[in-house]
């Protein structure tokens, strides 16, 4: 699960119209400096590439305000008027005004590609019984694991950390390759690219078969300050006109894409 999801929990009072705060001279992005495969200070993540696309379409230089995607991220960046947009933010919270979503993704189960768990597609699969599964503590998959009696042997990993100094996702995959855990569950936009780029002996499978809440997929938007409806509409127009190129960026990085209802891979939904 990405920190963006937990950052989206909570709420603030509605703000007055603040469109005049948006820079006219640069596309100012709030981002984590060490959160690959999403973003980093070297601009190597897929959110960096999407930001480059948006800046190019706006014919503005791209500028970043870097801050760890942890407690205080929105307050210290967007709400402080240090920047004007968060490229990836889960739909439906009150800390930001969400644009239309530009992709939908879910959680993935990651296992050795040639191992006995390679065919597992659901947390409730009996093959996971008595297995040690790595999972982000407090995430939706952890709740489902509890429903299936898998938490007793689970290994939990922290979510809200400063990724300049800690790397929970990387550690989880290292533990999987070392045999410390038998399987790992990660937010797809993190796990999918990591497997594609650096772990060719592992396999990431979308978990689409959990019949009860909490949901295992999220629609991802861009986040702007509350009240900035003019800016939101401008970004919505950019997303709509460039959706195909955005999808290409996401797919090239290995982000698993779902249809809007989170029920099937995007390719199968066409």
Q: What is the pLDDT of residues 108-137, one digit of tens each?
A: 999 999 999 999 999 999 999 999 999 999
Express as a percent the part of the chain with pLDDT over 90.
Answer: 85
- SS3 label, residue 109: strand
Give domain status of residue 76, yes or no. Answer: yes
Give domain status of residue 148, yes or no. Answer: yes
Express as a percent the part of the chain with pLDDT over 70.
Answer: 92
Q: What is the pLDDT of residue 194?
A: 98
Q: Kindly tell me if the per-residue pLDDT of 270 is higher than 90.
A: no
Give domain status of residue 64, yes or no. Answer: yes
Q: Kindly tell me if the per-residue pLDDT of 6 is higher than 50.
A: no
- Do 89 and 116 reside in the same domain of the chain? no
Domain that holds residue 125: 110-206
Q: How confident is the model at residue 15 (pLDDT cuts 50, 70, 90)?
A: very low
Whether the link from the prior residue into 200 is cis, omega within 30° of 0, is no
- Do 199 and 124 reside in the same domain of the chain? yes
- Do 52 and 183 reside in the same domain of the chain? no
- Do 201 and 118 reside in the same domain of the chain? yes
Higher model confidence: residue 18 or residue 99?
99
Give domain status of residue 37, yes or no. Answer: yes
- SS3 label, residue 205: strand
Q: How confident is the model at residue 255 (pLDDT cuts 50, 70, 90)?
A: very high
CA distance 69 to 51: 17
Q: What is the pLDDT of residue 19?
A: 58
Q: Kindly tell me if the per-residue pLDDT of 218 is higher than 60.
A: yes
Q: Are 123 and 148 in contact (CB under 8 A)?
A: yes
Q: What is the pLDDT of residue 71?
A: 84
Crossing angle between the packed helical segments 243-253 and 46-58, to the nearest 10 degrees: 160
The mean pLDDT value of the chain amounts to: 92
Give domain status of residue 9, yes or no. Answer: no
- Do 94 and 117 reside in the same domain of the chain? no
Q: Are 60 and 26 in contact (CB under 8 A)?
A: yes
- Do 74 and 114 reside in the same domain of the chain? no
- Do 89 and 45 reside in the same domain of the chain? yes
Q: Kindly tell me if the per-residue pLDDT of 9 is higher than 50.
A: no
pTM for the predicted model, two decimal places:
0.91
Question: Which of these ranges, 13-17, 139-143, 240-244, has the smallest mean pLDDT?
Answer: 13-17
Give domain status of residue 14, yes or no. Answer: no
Q: What is the pLDDT of residue 209?
A: 86
- Do 118 and 201 reside in the same domain of the chain? yes
Q: How confident is the model at residue 7 (pLDDT cuts 50, 70, 90)?
A: very low
Q: Kindly tell me if the per-residue pLDDT of 5 is higher than 70.
A: no
Which run of H or of E encompasses 248? helix 243-253
Region 237-250: mean pLDDT is 98
Higher model confidence: residue 7 or residue 250?
250
Q: What is the pLDDT of residue 161?
A: 86
Q: Are 191 and 184 in contact (CB under 8 A)?
A: yes
CATH classification of the domain holding 228: 3.40.190.10
Give domain status of residue 211, yes or no. Answer: no
* 66-81 pLDDT tens trace: 999 988 999 999 999 9
CA distance 189 to 46: 9
Report CA-CA distances (Å) from 111 to 15, 81, 183, 186, 197.
Answer: 45, 42, 5, 11, 15
């Amino acid at each position: 699960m990405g920190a963006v999801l937990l950052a989206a929990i909570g709420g603030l009072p509605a703000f007055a119209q603040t469109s005049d705060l948006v820079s006219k001279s640069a596309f100012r992005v709030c981002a984590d400096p060490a959160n690959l495969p999403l973003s980093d200070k070297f601009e190597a993540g897929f959110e960096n590439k999407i930001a480059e696309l948006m800046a190019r379409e706006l014919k503005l230089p791209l500028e970043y305000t870097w801050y760890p995607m942890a407690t205080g991220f929105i307050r210290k960046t967007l709400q402080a008027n240090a920047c004007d947009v968060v490229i990836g933010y889960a739909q439906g919270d009150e800390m930001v005004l969400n644009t239309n979503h530009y992709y939908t993704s879910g959680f993935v189960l990651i296992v050795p590609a040639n191992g006995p768990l390679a065919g597992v597609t659901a947390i409730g699969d009996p093959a996971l019984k008595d297995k040690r599964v790595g999972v982000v503590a407090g995430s939706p998959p952890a709740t489902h694991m509890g429903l299936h009696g898998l938490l007793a042997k689970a290994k939990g990993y922290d979510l809200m950390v400063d990724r300049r100094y800690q790397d929970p996702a990387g550690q989880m995959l290292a533990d999987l390759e070392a045999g410390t855990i038998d399987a790992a569950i990660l937010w797809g936009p993190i796990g999918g690219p990591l497997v594609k780029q650096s772990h060719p002996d592992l396999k990431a499978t979308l978990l689409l078969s959990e019949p009860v809440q909490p949901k295992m997929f999220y629609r991802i938007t861009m986040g702007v300050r509350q009240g900035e409806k003019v800016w939101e509409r401008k970004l919505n127009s950019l997303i709509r006109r460039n959706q195909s190129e955005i999808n290409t960026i996401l797919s090239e990085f290995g982000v698993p894409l779902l249809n809007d209802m989170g029920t099937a891979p995007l390719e199968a939904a066409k």
